[in-house]
Structure 1
Amino acid sequence: MTDDNKPKTPHRHLVWRLALTLIVPLALLAATEWGLRLAGMGHPTTFFVKHHDGTGYSPNAQFGWRYRCREMAWPFLMSSPKPANTLRLFVLGESAAYGTPDPTFSVSRQLEVMLRAQYPQARLEVFNTAMMGINSHVIRDIARECARHGADLLVVYMGNNELIGAYGVGAAAEGSTVGLSLPLIRASLWARGTRLGQATDRFLGKRDWLTPKDQDEAFFQKNRIHPDDPRREKVYKNFRANLHEVCRSGPKVLLSTVAVNLRDCPPLGSLHRRGLTAAEQARWEEAYRRGETNAERGNWSEAVRHYQIAAELDGQFADLQYRLGQAFEALGDLPRSRHHLSLACDYNAMPFGANSHINQIIRDIAQQQPPDRVRLVDAAELSLEPDLFWEHVHLTFRGNYRLARTLLPGVVALLEASLGPATGTIPSEDECAAALAYTRWDELKLTQPVVRLTARPPFTAQLDHARRQARAEAALAALAREFQQPTQQQQSLEIYHAALRRSPDDWMLRHNYAELLAALRRFEEAAAQMKLVADRFPRYTPFQWMWRAYLAAATETRVTELVKQGNELCRQGRFAEAAQIYRHALALAPQLHGLHNNLGGVLLRTGATNEAIAHLEEALKLSPDYVPALMNLGTAYAATRNDAAAIRLFRRALEREPGSRDAALKLAWVLATGCDPAQRNGAEAVRLAETLCQAPNGRTPGALDLLAAAYAETGRFDDAIRVATEAQEEAIRRGLLSQAAVIGERLQRYKNRQPYHAP
């Protein structure tokens, strides 16, 4: 028997079954994935996507979605391939590296200014690839992409978002670390990077993270994390692994420890140590209270003594360590002050920001790498410098300058061979401010969102929050008052003009200049500047919205000016000229119903009734219940002897505004004097006219004239004569001689027992 004729063994059957069990589902999944891609379903998940004109790459606005992050990277245009003899640097990190609250003054911008000033002969590109709301799991992927796009150096400033947020401690249930398993996290990220994963998310409705949620104080209190929570160690382990891979991504890497505001920003949350008994907590609270009392009196040594008694009972309470840090600073013992402030950061139960564990991991990883490929800069040393932080981690303009200045030697050391000799000097903070056009206006613009942020949880739970917030709001009010001065506004404009003369192609300068012009209500100029930015980044929707908003505001401002001119001409009786002005305004804003009404009203005055009707009808198409247009169109129809239409419109106006005296008067007039006998209703006209005359100060010449006409229509000529005589006398008394003459003509008809009807 040949081998081919031998019966197949059960073992071979099992292998085939297992193979089919795996291959068929995988083939179906692969086919579904490619089908979804071919159908254009889903979105790209890479950080870089082709620019709209194919000339290079820009950040993908939907990149963060894969990581449950709705934020976008700050836009830029990166040419492809990389120009020859060009050094390409990428700054990676979270919101602090991004430049929150304004990336146009970020560390990457200031570092670029310094490098260009010191090495003017070098061809440099510095890109800000940091994003808000991300952490090392995301930055690892961005670093890999940067390596594929010709990165010469990665500047890594990250560690603030590891413990809180996506893939932080809250990703696993308390008492478990399963949700923090690195293979599990990476597998889930891979799955969400597929079109099938995106379709599944959409089908299951798992995109609620795109909608911001209101996080009140109760939310933050509920989500506090104990200093000894074992999940913290798992997060640190993941951070170490991700950072190690960033260092091995290919380009040279400058690692930086992370500065946080140890001195001026108390912990966002505190928790007592586990196992603290009620009796111990009572003694702790008494010691802490005594420490507070002595601190308020300036008895710092006594304050320290009582705080230390509390610390022996429970030293994990973050606020206590912060108070000890303050007390030792007041005593001049700065090393011990720093020690306790650092412990306050480590024990923070709402750890938004890097702590000493994160920074030590950064130092350890840097030490393990070849020094010619990876270097360390210890920016954490900036943590106690004053005026560097807006709140807990985000840097002021000075803070970004100091960070860039700290990073600069490390950048130069890693790129020295390519940079060549330094032929320029490092710019000062003032020189950087001039280059980037950082003005008092920009300081005001950046301060506003920060003050709004710190007025909300979790900041409201901080020590001394009310006092600190009051100071911040007072400083903001002072900045706002200062900017109202014309000299300050002009100075800000001149700084931008100078910066744009030096760097006319800097789109970020134009972006900020547009915001300044808009703040000064120079919307037309603002729209022109923003149009240049929007055209450069047509896929970046915030810039498109800004340009359209400025354009709309410019149009509204111009239309408002034209309407004022037209109204003034109307007051002067120059109706033909007013009509021309309103036409200009309508050319800018044809959708404004009020403009159509204004033009229709003046056209009625000039006798262009048909054109007036067209504009008034358009006004009512745009706003069907707009009473002024109802009134004007009713008047126009009455003038063209269309009494039925006029009555219908006046009734609608009176329904919309039941107290409208003008609508009641015009309706009653057509009912009493209309040219169409079928539409006249003298009895209703009398009721309306009597109501008008009975109102306080209601016996005006016009109302009395109407009442007389209504009486005449119902055959009550004696009443008509009496009231018309009163109307004529009242008109003469008021100096309305022409009106008195017209009333006199009608009075003569009533004496002849004839009602008055419109000709």
Structure 2
Amino acid sequence: MFRLVAAVGIPVLLLAVVELGLRLVGYGYRPSAIVEVKMDGRTYACDNSRFSWRFFPRHLAREASPYIVPKAKPDNTCRIFVLGASAAMGVPEPAFGFSRMLHVMLADCYPGVQFEVVNTAMAAINSHCVLPVARDCARYEPDVFVVYLGNNEVTGPYGAGSVFAPLAGNLSVIRAAIAVKGTRLGQSMTDLLAAMGARDGTPEMWRGLEMFVDKHVRADDTGLQAVYSHFASNLRDIVRTGRTAGAQVVLCTVAGNLKDNPPFGSQHRRDLSAADAERWDKTYQEGVAHEEAGRYPEAIDTYLAAAEIDDTYADLQFRLGRCYGRMGEYEKALERYVNARETDTLRFRADNRINEIVRDTAAGHRDGVHLVDAARIFEQNSPHHAPGDELFYEHVHMNFAGNYLLARSVLEAVEQALPDRVRKARADDTEPLTEAQCAQRLAYTDVDRYKIAEKVLNDFLKRPPFSDRLYYAEHIERIERDVAALKADVTPQAMAQAAEQNQRAVENKPNDWLLRWRYGQFLAEHVRDHRAAAEQFGWVRDHLPHSWLAHQSLATVLAALGNADEAVRLYERALQLQPTSGRTHFFLGEQWHKRGKTDKARKHYLEAVRWEPDCVPAYNSLARILAQEGKLDKATDICRRGLVFSPDSAVLRGSLGTLLARQGRRTEAIEELQAALRLDPNSAPIRQSLRILQHGPN
């Protein structure tokens, strides 16, 4: 017994002492998804911007949209937690996600009830991350859990195609690792390893799906079976967590773009011989030639011949679907589109097995669990049952129409799940809000339509792996036409209408922080009324005291109003709340730079590029400081370092060209300035610098 105590008890005691000591000195962060804050003598539950540090390297960590609710649920309140990843969050614009529409629909149908729809979803996470979120939500009197989850099971932490925490075959090992990372001792070990250098394969910065372009996972990969098993176990535990807390659970299958989203990755079957591969490729190319010439029957016959050699190549399946669609054989087209998704080796979309697990999990519970089969609902509401760009921005993220369809579908299930005390309060004969009415309540304007479409085009569709897919040029040309048409709609009259719609939405729902925050953005960016914007952001800061974003937003407009001291204070507070915000470091560096405090400015500029290596303004400002100090070589190096992460930055290439010219490196300077001008043909300063360098000051 003594030997047992010595071997086990003493080490455990020592670890406990170290853990306690680290907590006492304030080391580390709170690992829970929900933290509590005091405000006006009351305790509130709110999002923890550091929660995902347990699952991601800090420079890649994602966050939920801010939320805050009273810890003790008020009387006559229905509390609904939404769980999931980026599609549930509402990416690319959470203000118009399905949870927001669900909220306004419920409020309209039950005018005497206070609804709290708390969206805990965040980008890039999967069920390994959502289960701890669910356990935290269970402590705050939930009435309903809504779970929309499944797209990131392969690419998220502990998935078979992840660039984050690697896959482990044993679920207990994964959960133990997550638990250890939640301790202060585990955090210290993680920090130590990070200080020693990033793990091989860890991206230096967030690049979205581009980070996974080499993470192919075939349909027959053994790791995929572990992913399915882990997802099933995690989903069962999420349901059990909700039910144990007294909540009804709404499980949703996951919809995806089939018709307008070619596969991201294609690979041949493992045992394909070299001779068969050559024969397959020759046949496939013949089919491509037929398809491009519009000879669809011949293309189908040729593609089918290639499929007899190897039918696991996802692009082949998608081409067949497209050709069948051109021929009007829509059932066959849908079958091939599904096959293309199932054989896609870059698995960014939930496949059939993921959705089968959701259905099986719901069917396995007699009471308290409701199924929304979103995958089938989207098929039923799509032309020829093949969901496409009518409902999606790209592969899985829904546009406004798609989010509305999901919200209407979830509403029906949620109404069945509501407590009796709430259902009795339903207004008689009240129909759910229409899509247009939701747009009015959420202030979704023509300006938003254009800005979101432009963001999707430039930040998603024009970057890998989207840019590596079939029919890319044709697709981009169509999207660019759509974006140009939306831009043309943003007339002065449309801007005035958008301002009025934002103002009316805030007046109708003055306690909605997101409406106020977006109105503040609109006032600052489009109306240039920084004083009115500060009023909106000030309200948000007062009601979301835990949010670094609220402090940063207010600081930025106060800086524009000339209140530099208060701006500095707010930026510093924002960094206390979230020290990894590169953009906040840059803004604070700017304030010190304007005051001539170059040492402080340099410090924050360096922190900015540490956390956001593509922060072009920070590199440019650093180069300016170094150039003023006469350190032209170091300034040049800073510009080159920035161009590694932002090679298409006209600003950095222009600065680099100017620095090279000052060092007498005329040929190199001209090359950089010419490259900058190609990137930004309308830049008068770059054009002037190049003209002087080529032809002299006259």
Q: TM-score range by the shorter chain?
A: 0.7 to 0.9
The reply on whether 1:496 has 2:502 as its aligned counterpart is yes
Match of 1:399 among 388, 397, 402: 402
Distance 2:466 2:627 in 1: 49
Matched, 1:296 2:302: no
Which residue is equivalent to 1:536? 543
SS in 2 for 1:445: helix
Instruction: Extract unaligned runs of 5+ from structure 1.
Output: 1-14, 558-588, 595-621, 627-656, 658-759
**Partner residue of 1:408 out of 407, 411, 415:** 411
Residues 22-52 of structure 1 show CA distances to partners (whole Å, capped at 9, x for unaligned) of 1100000111111111111111011111125
Deviation at 1:136, TM superposition (A): 0.2
> Counterparts of 1:171-570 in structure 2 under 5 Å?
179-205=168-194, 208=198, 212-213=204-205, 220-249=212-241, 250=243, 251-370=247-366, 372-381=367-376, 382=378, 384-386=386-388, 387-415=390-418, 417=420, 418-420=422-424, 421-423=426-428, 424-452=430-458, 453-483=460-490, 485-520=491-526, 521-555=528-562
CA RMSD of aligned residues (A): 2.8
Identity, in percent, stands at 38
Q: 2 CA distance for matches of 1:163 and 1:211?
A: 17
Structure-2 change in CA distance of 1:422 and 1:343 (3 Å): farther
- Say if 1:178 and 1:61 are closer, same or farther in 2 by CA, change over 3 A: closer
Equivalent-residue separation in structure 1 for 2:563 and 2:115 (angstroms):
43
Aligned partner letter, 1:200: M
Q: Would you say how many aligned residue pairs link Structure 1 and Structure 2?
A: 550
Please tell me the residue identity of whatever aligns with 1:408.
L
Partner of 1:721: none
The residue aligned with 1:106 is 97
Aligned partner (choices 122, 131, 140) of residue 140 of structure 1 = 131
1-structure distance, mates of 2:227, 2:349: 14
Contact 1:441 1:516 in 2 (8 A): no
Contact 2:30–2:51 (CA<8 Å) still a contact in 1?
A: yes
- Residue of structure 1 aligned with 2:67, choices 73, 76, 94: 76
Task: Return the alpha-carbon distance in structure 2 between the equivalents of residues 518 and 310 of structure 1.
Answer: 57
**Do the aligned partners of 1:192 and 1:198 also contact (CA within 8 Å) in 2?**
yes
**Structure-2 separation of matches of 1:357 and 1:93:** 18
Q: Match of 1:305, as an amino acid?
A: D
Q: Tell me the amino acid that sits aligned with residue 300 of structure 1.
A: Y
Distance, in Å, in 1 between the alignment partners of 2:506 and 2:163 is 50
Per-residue deviation, 1:113: 1.1
Paired letter, 1:21 = A
Conserved 8 A contact 1:257-1:363: yes
1:33 aligns with 2:19: yes
**SS of residue matched to 2:315:** helix
Cα displacement (A) at 1:172:
11
One-letter amino acid matched to 2:475: R
Which TM-score applies when normalising by structure 1? 0.69
Deviation string, structure 1 residues 263-306 (Cα, Å, up to 9, x no partner): 11111111111111122122222222222222223332222211
- Greater CA deviation, 490-499 or 433-442? 490-499
Structure 1 distance, partners of 2:217, 2:592, is: 58
**CA deviation profile, 1:552-581 (whole Å, cap 9, x unmatched):** 234499xxxxxxxxxxxxxxxxxxxxxxxx
Report deviation, 1:226.
1.8
Checking the alignment, whether the CA contact within 8 Å between 1:325 and 1:340 is kept in structure 2 is yes
Q: Where does residue 51 of structure 2 map in the other structure?
A: 63
CA distance in 2, matches of 1:227, 1:590: 54
The 8 Å contact of residues 36 and 195 in structure 1, kept in 2 or not, is answered as yes
Q: Check whether the contact 1:220–1:457 (CA below 8 A) recurs between aligned residues.
A: no
Larger radius of gyration: 1
> CA distance change for structure 1 residues 592 and 321 in 2, over 3 Å: closer, same or farther?
closer
State the match for 2:32 in structure 1.
46
* Aligned counterpart, 1:19: 5
AA aligned opposite 1:23 = G
Amino acid in the other structure paired with 1:225: V
Shift of 1:78: 1.0
User: Cα deviation per residue 1:421-463 (whole Å; 9 max; x = unaligned)?
Assistant: 4432201000000000000111122223211222111111111
State the shift of 1:182 in Å: 0.5
**Cα gap change, 1:410 to 1:592, in 2 (>3 Å):** closer
Aligned AA for 2:16? A
SS of structure 2 residue aligned to 1:179: coil
Larger displacement relative to structure 2 (179-188 or 231-240): 179-188
1:162 aligns with 2:153: yes
Residues 591-622 of structure 1, C-alpha deviations (whole Å, 9 max, x = no match): 9689xxxxxxxxxxxxxxxxxxxxxxxxxxx9
> Quick one: distance in 1 between partners of 2:63 and 2:593?
34
What SS does the aligned partner of 2:138 have?
A: helix
Determine if contact 1:593/1:623 at 8 Å carries over to the other structure.
Answer: no
CA deviation vs aligned residue, 1:206-225 (integer Å, no higher than 9, x gap):
69599852669996443212
CA separation in 1, counterparts of 2:230 and 2:594? 58
Which deviates more from structure 2 when the two are superposed, residues 327-336 or residues 231-240? 327-336
Contact 2:89–2:121 under 8 Å retained in 1: yes
**What displacement does 1:400 show?**
0.7
* Other structure's SS at 2:501 match: helix
One-letter identity of the residue aligned with 1:419? R
Instruction: After TM superposition, give the deviation of residue 171 of structure 1 in Å.
Output: 5.9
Does structure 2 retain, via aligned residues, the 8 Å contact 1:172–1:180?
Answer: no
The residue type paired with residue 226 of structure 1 is R
- Runs of 5+ in structure 2 lacking a partner? 380-385, 565-590, 597-624, 630-661, 663-698
How far apart, CA to CA, are the structure 1 residues paired with 2:211 and 2:139? 41
**Alpha-carbon separation, structure 1, partners of 2:473 and 2:543:** 44
Q: Distance in 2 between matches of 1:80 and 1:256?
A: 27
Query: Larger relative contact order (C-alpha < 8 A, sep ≥ 6)?
Result: 2
Q: Cα distance, 1:360 vs. partner?
A: 0.8
1:390 aligns to what SS in structure 2? coil
Amino acid at match of 2:371: L
Over 3 Å counting, the alpha-carbon distance change for 1:416 and 1:325 in structure 2 is: farther
Asked if structure 1 preserves the Cα contact closer than 8 Å seen for 2:155 and 2:163, the reply is no
Do the aligned residues in 1 keep the contact of 2:321 with 2:337 (CA within 8 Å)?
yes
Quote the Cα distance in structure 2 between the aligned partners of 1:186 and 1:592. Answer: 49
SS of the residue corresponding to residue 155 of structure 1 reads: strand
The answer on whether the counterparts of 1:168 and 1:180 sit within 8 Å (CA) in structure 2 is: no
Whole-Å Cα distance in 1 between the matches of residues 147 and 208 of structure 2? 32
Match of residue 679 from structure 2: none
* TM superposition score normalised by structure 2: 0.74
Work out the CA distance in 2 between the residues paired with 1:408 and 1:186: 33
